[in-house]
Amino acid sequence: GHITDDWDRKLCRAYLEEFMNPSLIEEEFMLAPGFAAPPNLDYSGYHQYIEEKLPPESPALYGLHANAELELLTVMSNTLFRTLLELQPRNALISEELGQSAEEKVRNILDDILEKLPEEFNMAEIIQKSSNRSPYVLVCFQECERMNILLQEIRVSLQQLELGCKGELPFSPEMEAQQSQLSYDTVPDTWSRLAYPSTYGLAQWFNDLLSRCRELETWTHDLALPAVVWLSGFFNPESFLTAIMQTMAR
């Protein structure tokens, strides 16, 4: 913002006079150890200087682990392939050998998910299992409730899409978007908004969902805190960390 205090203005002027001086653009001025300032060049000259003098970009140059580049390349590749898939006509064959259309692929995915999708947690039954309302138990309740909301959305949306594919229900824009996303092996937006952060494709995402449900099912068996907790398997991991602090404070 603007400098309104006279003493602040004098201090900033002193800093500027100390650091902003002709020596900044003199040859061999070291911006950092081993990194000299470039000479006074034009636009193309700076491009040439960058290409010839500066080291090639790498994660280590920015203080990152080498795996950071692998993650970046993976994301870029997934984005490229997803874009290519979206450019294909909707009536294109998914597999020339199998002759499988996009609608047939979506029906297979839909049937597979509905068959494997677990039932929602019976919250009334779970709550009656214990009168203890420790912070850990409350976290378990919250996670089960959030999982129920997600499972319900998945089941209802897929059932509606199934009716739409059979011609028994008019196709809405949301159903068309969901059909398109399922055919591209991506998680529908209506699911992602209710779910936990994830970068998985549809197949990995659904397997991860099943693993999370199994973890909650084990926990709700007797509401005893598991010996090993899958922290990243929570919708809200911070709530479990808060429960730890509350328990220790008591």
Which pLDDT score, from 0 to 100, does residue 62 have? 80
Other residues' Cβ atoms within 10 Å of the Cβ of residue 161: 24
Tell me if 77 is assigned to some domain: no
Other residues' Cβ atoms within 10 Å of the Cβ of residue 160: 17
Mean pLDDT value across the chain: 86
Tell me if 84 is assigned to some domain: no
Which pLDDT score, from 0 to 100, does residue 232 have? 92
Q: Tokens 């682990």 belong to which residue?
A: 65
Which pLDDT score, from 0 to 100, does residue 166 have? 84
Tell me if 108 is assigned to some domain: yes
Model confidence over 191-240: pLDDT tens digits? 999 999 998 889 999 999 999 999 999 999 988 888 999 999 999 999 99
CATH of the domain at 141: 1.20.1270.280
Tell me if 186 is assigned to some domain: yes
Phi, then psi, of 123 in degrees rounded to 5 = -65, -40
17 and 131 assigned to the same domain: no
Which pLDDT score, from 0 to 100, does residue 140 have? 94
136 and 230 assigned to the same domain: yes
Which pLDDT score, from 0 to 100, does residue 97 have? 44
Q: How far is CA 236 from the centre of its chain?
A: 14
| pLDDT under 50: residue ranges of the chain | 93, 95-97
31 and 118 assigned to the same domain: no
Helix (H) or strand (E) holding 93: strand 93-95
48 and 109 assigned to the same domain: no
**Which domain does 144 fall in, by range?**
93-249
Tell me if 166 sits within 8 A of 175, measured CB to CB.
no
166 and 119 assigned to the same domain: yes
Domain count, the chain: 2
